[in-house]
Structure 1
Amino acid sequence: MSPLAVGVVAALVGGAPGWYRAMLLLAAASGLRQGEIFGLEVGHIDFRNGTVRVQQQVVSPDRGEPYIGPPKTHQSYRTVPVARSAMDALAAHLLAYPVAGVQMEDRTDPNRVKWRSAQLVFTSKRREAIRRAAWSKVWENLEVVAGKALAKQHAEALQRWERRGRPEGDEPILLTVPDGSSMRDLRHFYASVLIKHRESVKTVQKRLGHAKPSITLDTYTHLWPDEEDTTRAAIESALGAVPPMCPLAA
């Protein structure tokens, strides 16, 4: 797993249709799973404290209608602090695309399955729950749009570089959307940013809703920076008050 570059994330968000733009930004800023974002309701957003609460997801079976189900694991129930830019985007999204309510089956409680009007923040253009298969096609088109934007940015950067006399070591790098990428890569991007800023395994696990820390480590251990070896200094500090050994007798 290699996380997306910031420029690629920006191109994906900027190239998305208006009603999906805030959703992609939220994915990159929160690490929510795809189904968790599709299942986000207005009541799960706390604008005052800048958080979103995960307590369900939209499940899209291969056959049948999408429905609301519980999150993937018990640890997936969580509250995630979200960057101010993403919270502002959510507020703007709700003003531009007011929630209308989507009639869906709610299976979050298997003993009390019911139909209700889900106040979904993000829906399809037709105001329906986003289906996994339909979203895959949207993502494929988004990859093309973002790729063209990145190629244009690279061409413009090359022109500026050439006008500066092609300084050595400063040649622009062409960013691309990796083949086989998906919305899950925005979740990986979120995790990589936390790790880069030296968040602990436990914190990253909690934010992502992984069932166990070992899952977090198995996925992202290669991203954690190597720490300077301070073991010698730690032991010296602990044993500093211990009298040194007497010289051995001849």
Structure 2
Amino acid sequence: MACVPADQFEAFVATCAFGGLRLGEAAALKVSDIDFMRQEIDVQRQVQRADGGQVELRPPKYGSERTVHIPRQLVETPAEHVRLFVPGDDPDRWMWPGQNGNPWHQNTVGYYWRKTREMAGVGYHLHDLRHFYASGLIAAGCDVVTVQRALGHSSASVTLNTYSHLWPDASDRTRKAAESSTSKLLRASGTKQAPDQGL
């Protein structure tokens, strides 16, 4: 198997890291699944490698068909990928076309990922990109249900069981709220010290 040029794999990695897609979901994307104007990805299927080496298309895990809202920067990467590496004008052509008219699958992506990892000198698993995406949503203040829907988890409890340690606890929220009100008061009074509250 020839090593894929780095430029072709870049869009795949970006989709996993900044869209939170599972490997099979990203591999099964068609050009028509990405709405470049609305900045959305429709996750409708996944690729699975069945017994005997056959490539199968199945619904996403746990019925997790969903629309993922993506940043403008992520739109630009797959758009450029399509322009350079996905010839034709059929909107239903695969984003990452493989052999015999099939999309990439786990073995193909796994091979490319190992080569990329070796070149970068890191030990991360591809699935770690999904965790990176989830942690970014949580750090930005997204609630449990929002993160659940973005990741396509079967329930909010699955999301909590995996990522509860990343959400701020009560002491963190109290501290943040106090810092916010203190900052507003200090800006309004024009002083660096809080006023005497007579306590």
TM-score (ref. length: structure 2): 0.77
* Corresponding residue pairs, total: 171
Partner residue, 2:19 = 30
User: What is the CA-CA distance between 1:125 and the residue it aligns to?
Assistant: 8.3
Aligned-partner residue type, residue 111 of structure 2: K
- Report the equivalent of 2:186: none
Please show how residues 3-14 of structure 1 align to structure 2 within 5 Å.
none
Could you list the runs of 5+ residues in structure 1 that have no partner in the other structure?
Answer: 1-15, 102-116, 148-176, 231-250
Q: CA deviation at 1:36?
A: 0.5
1:132 corresponding residue in structure 2: 106
Which ranges of structure 2 fall in alignment gaps of 5 or more residues? 175-199
Change (3 A) 1:99 1:209: farther
Give the match for residue 71 of structure 2.
Answer: 83
Q: State TM-score, norm by structure 1.
A: 0.62
Structure 1 runs of 4+ with >6 Å offset: none
| Pair member with larger Rg | 1
**Contact kept? 1:123, 1:129, Cα under 8 Å:** yes
- Quick one: distance in 2 between partners of 1:209 and 1:40? 15
- Root-mean-square deviation (CA, aligned residues, Å) is 2.6
- How far apart are 1:127 and its partner, in Å? 6.8
Distance in 2 (alpha carbons) for counterparts of 1:124 and 1:197: 36
Q: Map 1:89-168 to 2 at 5 A.
A: 89-99=77-87, 119-124=93-98, 128-147=102-121
Residue in structure 2 matched with residue 214 of structure 1 by the alignment = 157
Contact 2:31 2:92 in 1 (8 A): no
Aligned equivalents of 2:127 and 2:51: distance in 1? 19
Q: Residue 226 of structure 1: CA displacement?
A: 2.3
Whole-angstrom CA distance in 2 between matches of 1:18 and 1:29: 17
Which digits, 9 at most, give the CA deviation of each residue in 1:26-82, with x for residues without a partner? 1111101111101111111111110000111111124232121111122x1110111
Superposed displacement of residue 97, structure 1: 1.1
More helix by share: 2
Q: Secondary structure at the match of 1:52?
A: strand
2:142 to 173, 180, 199: 199
Aligned mate of 1:59, from 45, 48, 51: 48
Structure 2 residue 125 is matched with structure 1 residue 182: yes
CA distance in structure 2 between the partners assigned to 1:118 and 1:45 by the alignment = 11
CA distance in 1, matches of 2:96, 2:161: 31
- How far apart are the structure 1 equivalents of 2:136 and 2:21? 14
SS at match of 1:145: helix
Cα 1:66–1:126 change in 2 (3 A) is: closer
| 2:134 counterpart SS class | helix
